Amino acid sequence: RFVVDGIDEKTIANELNSRSVLRGPGQPWTRGTVHQVLINEKYVGDNVWNRISKKLKGRQVRNEPASWIRANNVFEPLIDRKLFERALAIIDKRSLHLSDDDLLKTLGSLLQKHGYLSGLIIDEAEDCPSSSTYTHRFGGLLRAYTLVGFTPQRDYSYLEINRRLREMHPTIVAETLHQIEARGAMVMIDRETQLIWVNQEFTVSLLLSRCLTLSSGSRRWIIRFDASLCPDVTLAVRMDPENRCILDYYIFPSIDLSALQIRLGEQNASGLDIYRFDNPLPLFDMSQRLSLRELAS
């Protein structure tokens, strides 16, 4: 309807509601909620990771496209890719002629009208570019908010961080499976628990540990182990201070674990850092099977 018939988001929302096709119990469609479906690339099943990277206390580096990791069909696609891309092209064209100053002026007017801002408020406004436009132009909605003088009463950054980590997780899992299979190992994944089985011999749990910046300025990472899954190995991916890129990896064998969680700092005892690696290659290499003749030699 949006692409082929040129019907806008508000009209689509009205049509769905008139047919009692709600987005949830007691939740009617609005212009904003329809728009957020149109721009969500998960509907074509894709996630992209490793566009940027950063070492602790180092500068953020924007990686070349050749080093990006794209996982297609991480989610079951619901929308044809060509149709999705046509929808994005229509949306992008709306704000193509607008400068950054134009975008901020419109956002400022929206703030003056409502007294506060949110992604949904932006997407509900018919005379305002989409929230995705502000995210792409300014590197995130919170930065755009700052530029027009709006500070949320609560610190909502953790919501954005959690959303970002949830999006990254399946991509990192997919890349891990790919690297293990590339070494000739047999790998399976439990879709419900995300527990990875390698060669039907040992299990791996992959988790992301967000960076917490304390009021003192020091940084902490908390790694919580899932005792209910009882994995043989836990691959803990430690995020950088902005929680946008991978900082490093910790590979913990369960036999060495005596607690349900571990707190890491910027500097750790050698008893912990023996499990730290710049990349997960040791886990991948551990998955590689060797013939008895190779072992004997």
- Residues in contact with 247: Cβ distance below 8 Å, sequence separation at least 6, in sequence order: 54, 55, 56, 211, 238, 239, 240
With a cut of 70, say whether residue 63 has pLDDT above it.
no
With a cut of 90, say whether residue 15 has pLDDT above it.
yes
Neighbours of 195 (CB within 10 A): 18
pLDDT single digits (tens) 73-108: 777 889 999 999 999 888 888 888 889 999 999 999
Across all residues in the chain, what is the average pLDDT?
A: 84
* pLDDT of amino acid 295: 56
CA atoms of 241 and 57, how far apart (whole Å): 9
Of 168, 195, 290, the closest CA to residue 187 belongs to 195
Cβ atoms of 213 and 131 closer than 8 Å = no
**DSSP 8-state class, residue 30:** -
pLDDT single digits (tens) 196-248: 999 989 999 999 999 988 877 889 999 988 878 889 999 999 999 888 889 99
H or E segment at 187?
strand 187-189
Exposed / middle / buried, residue 76 (Cβ in 10 Å: 0-12, 13-18, 19+): exposed
With a cut of 90, say whether residue 4 has pLDDT above it.
yes
pLDDT single digits (tens) 256-279: 888 888 999 988 888 899 999 999
Cβ atoms of 230 and 253 closer than 8 Å = no
Cβ atoms of 70 and 48 closer than 8 Å = yes
**DSSP 8-state class, residue 27:** B
CA atoms of 271 and 124, how far apart (whole Å): 53
Strand partners, 220: 212
Strand partners, 236: 207, 250
* pLDDT of amino acid 83: 94
CA atoms of 288 and 286, how far apart (whole Å): 6
Q: Is the pTM of this model over 0.85?
A: no
Cβ atoms of 184 and 198 closer than 8 Å = no
Of 256, 176, 172, the closest CA to residue 208 belongs to 172
* pLDDT of amino acid 68: 55
